Structure 1
Amino acid sequence: MDFLVSSYTLRPINMLELIVISTLAFSCLLLWQRPRFKGLTLLLVQEILLMAFNFSEETGFWRQQHLVTPIFSLWTGPTFYLFIRHLVFAHQPWRVREGLHLLPALLALPFTHYTQAVLAVGTVSLVGYGVASFLLVRRYHRALRNMRADPEALQLRWLLGIMLAFALLAVTDAVRVNSQPYLDYTLRNSWYLLQQLANFCTFLTLVYLAIRQPALFDQLDFFERQVKPVAPAVDQRALEQQLFEQIDRTVRSHQLFRTPRLSLQDVAEKTGLVVRDVSTAINQGGGQSFSDYINGLRVEFVTTQLRQPERPQENLLQLAMDAGFNSKTAFNTAFRQHCGMTPSQFIKQLQN
């Protein structure tokens, strides 16, 4: 119990570590009740433990018989990957076998006195799991574009930004670790403090953006199991084009594209086809994703209305909402994509 009465000299980095531990612990309480963010909670717990061991090793608060912190380089990649996996797959339960991802970190524990070797293996692990995480997010966005006409609200582009920030931090940290023998004491410790501060800020940003994410797409597993389009045989392409024309007639005649947050399932129910056939017809027969197809019809509706010589003086944004768009940003993005210009430029062109 000597550690309770002993005196310790706390440097700025140690104060930061205590702040990180308390702040991320509170973040865990906020996220734990959200099932799809339990993986993020695991990631935060890993960072809390890393900060706790760093604090212990630097202050001697808890006399360790073994160096522990190097194994976290083998833990970070798997925990981030599991966070992404359970975020994008809404209905995938946690399994015991997923713990195998953390096994290399435990196996490396007896060898942490070979610090540089463990860190090198950890770097390779980070790169591998980082690529796997990026591919998961890309699969999520692909399914989103093919299942929903309003992908913007459910996208995880902010997560790609966070992944890029963590990657840059990992690179700078690797440079810092390998440069230590050539740096003086003040520069070495200042760099370490700034590195940890930047890492902490990135974690806070991740938690903030996760909490304010309005909704998440929950049909990735369904898409990959039953909807994911496959390349048709050459003799089937004509059939896919005919089926797309049939779907297109139904969508246009009933103006289904004007339905906000239209989904692939909605179109399948209206046409009497199964979801997979509708998806394949639009992708292969129409040569575009579901969201591009529907938003193209919405833009066509807007431009047709704008060309009417006696159209009512309707607000452009209201016209976009009537076409089925649910935000100004989504409308402007789709308009530029399909017309190659902004709505205001298009109106000026009509006036000239």
Structure 2
Amino acid sequence: MLAKSGAEKMEVYHSIMVTGFTPSPIWISLGIGLIAVTYTVLSIRMIIRYLNHLKKTRSSIDPSFHRWLLFLSSTLLIPIVITVITRLVGATTLPFPVVVFALSLLIFIIYGTFLLQPKFFDKFQYQIDDQEIEEVNSIEKYQNSNLQNNQKSEYLEKIIKYMDSEKPYLDPELTILQFSNTVDIPTYYVSQIINEQLECNFIDFVNRYRIDEIKVKLEDPKLNHFKILNLAYDSGFNSKTAFYYAFKKHVDMTPGAYRKENQLSTA
């Protein structure tokens, strides 16, 4: 194309504008589509697995981040889907407006994501180091643990006492690795005890304390001049979405409704 003369380039451009792009043979198009779909599915699967990993190791995550990430990954299929539909309806060429529409839609979505969720284009959230990966791999094997019942009771008491006295849940960046190092209990034992004895994962365990912390604040009329979100940040949450999601899950009502209901009952 670069070696063509100006007149020849104009002829090619005019041909595309009038007749559209001539697609590759169908077997090539299907192969490219299959590769694109495979990579997209694997990307979505990796995002879901990573989210499950965070639930086991982090005390606070923003679910909206992963929903947006899943959405953005899915939109990469737009050009492929439009191409496949065009071929299935029997078109021998891809009309230029269709190609422009597909690419414009993709660019619009990426640009819109940049405006609404700029953190996607910054450092990826929740970086995991090699030590944590090794610890988490051990967590998956705790079903085969030889931890005795008396040890479980001892560790559980130690964990609860530390949570009540030191309130580590007020740190929004708390991880299970940091927690286990502080209480001097192996990470996989911490995970095992929380899962078996308290029937929840690490993030739910920590969020229970955060919810109890903010419930006391919401019930206090003296704190009415504080916004609920500010109280949430003071209780260990690090995002609005994560807070409202956790509160609704544990209390089954919104924070605003809880504040109104409990202050009316004590008036």
Question: Does the TM-score normalized on the shorter chain lie above 0.5?
Answer: yes
Q: Is the CA contact (8 Å cut-off) linking 1:332 and 1:342 kept in structure 2?
A: yes
**Aligned counterpart in structure 2 of residue 160 of structure 1, from 63, 70, 87:** 70
The question of 1:345 aligning with 2:252 is answered no
CA-CA distance at 1:219 after TM superposition: 1.1
Partner of 1:8: 9
Residue 143 of structure 1: which of 46, 53, 57 is its match? 53
Where does residue 250 of structure 1 map in the other structure? 162
Following the alignment from structure 1 to structure 2, what is the Cα–Cα distance between the partners of residues 126 and 312?
Answer: 53
Q: Is the 8 A contact 1:240 1:281 kept in 2?
A: no
Shift of 1:265: 2.5
What CA distance in whole angstroms lies between the structure 1 residues aligned with 2:148 and 2:50?
26
- Aligned length, in residue pairs: 253
Structure 1: which 5+ runs fail to align? 15-54, 59-68, 71-114
1:288 counterpart SS class:
coil
Contact 1:150 1:261 in 2 (8 A): yes
Deviates more, 1:4-13 or 1:327-336: 4-13
For 2:102, the equivalent position in structure 1 comes to 195
- Structure-1 separation of matches of 2:145 and 2:3: 78
C-alpha distance after superposition, 1:122-152 (max 9, x if no partner)? 3333333322211211122122222222212
> 2:195 is matched with which residue: 259, 270, 283?
283
Q: Which residue of 123, 146, 149 maps to 2:33?
A: 123
Percent identity over the alignment is 20
CA distance in 2, matches of 1:6, 1:12: 12
Pair 1:297-2:209 in alignment:
yes
Pairwise CA distance, 1:339: 0.4
Aligned-pair CA distance for 1:272: 0.9
Please tell me the residue identity of whatever aligns with 2:231: L
Aligned residue in 1 for 2:44? 134
Matching residue of 2:243: 331
Partner letter of residue 280 of structure 1?
Q
**How far apart in 2 are the matches of 1:291 and 1:332?**
14
Of 174, 189, 192, 1:262 maps to 174
| RMSD (Å) for aligned C-alpha atoms | 3.6
CA-to-partner distance for each residue in 1:22-67, whole Å, 9 max, x for gaps? xxxxxxxxxxxxxxxxxxxxxxxxxxxxxxxxx9x87xxxxxxxxx
Change (3 A) 1:169 1:238: farther
2:134 to 201, 220, 225: 225
The TM-score with structure 1 as length reference comes to: 0.60
Instruction: For residues 53-97 of structure 1, give each alpha carbon's deviation from its aligned partner in whole angstroms, at most 9, with x where no partner exists.
Output: xx9x87xxxxxxxxxx85xxxxxxxxxxxxxxxxxxxxxxxxxxx
Question: Offset at 1:283?
Answer: 3.2
How far did 1:159 drift?
1.9
User: CA distance change for structure 1 residues 131 and 320 in 2, over 3 Å: closer, same or farther?
Assistant: same
Distance 1:335 1:163 in 2: 29
State the Cα deviation string for residues 178-232 of structure 1 (Å, max 9, x = none): 22438xx8x9443233223223434555777566435422217544432243251
Q: TM-score if structure 2 supplies the norm length?
A: 0.76
Q: Give me the whole-angstrom Cα distance separating, in 1, the residues matched to 2:256 and 2:54.
A: 29
- In the alignment, residue 134 of structure 1 is paired with which amino acid? I
Corresponding letter in the other structure for 2:4: F
SS at match of 2:199: coil
2:207/2:246 contact within 8 Å kept:
yes
Contact conserved, 1:148 with 1:291, CA < 8 A, in 2? Answer: yes
| Residue number among 57, 81, 84 corresponding to 1:174 in the alignment | 84
Does the Cα contact within 8 Å between 1:240 and 1:284 map onto a contact in 2?
Answer: no
Q: Within 2, Cα distance between the matches of 1:210 and 1:311?
A: 36
Please say if residues 40 and 74 of structure 2, whose CA atoms lie closer than 8 Å, have aligned partners that are also in contact.
no
Query: How far apart, in 2, do the equivalents of 1:313 and 1:199 lie?
Result: 45
Instruction: Supply the AA of the counterpart residue of 1:3.
Output: K
Kindly provide the amino acid, as one letter, of the partner of residue 346 in structure 1: Y
The answer as to whether partners of 1:237 and 1:284 remain within 8 angstroms in 2 is: no
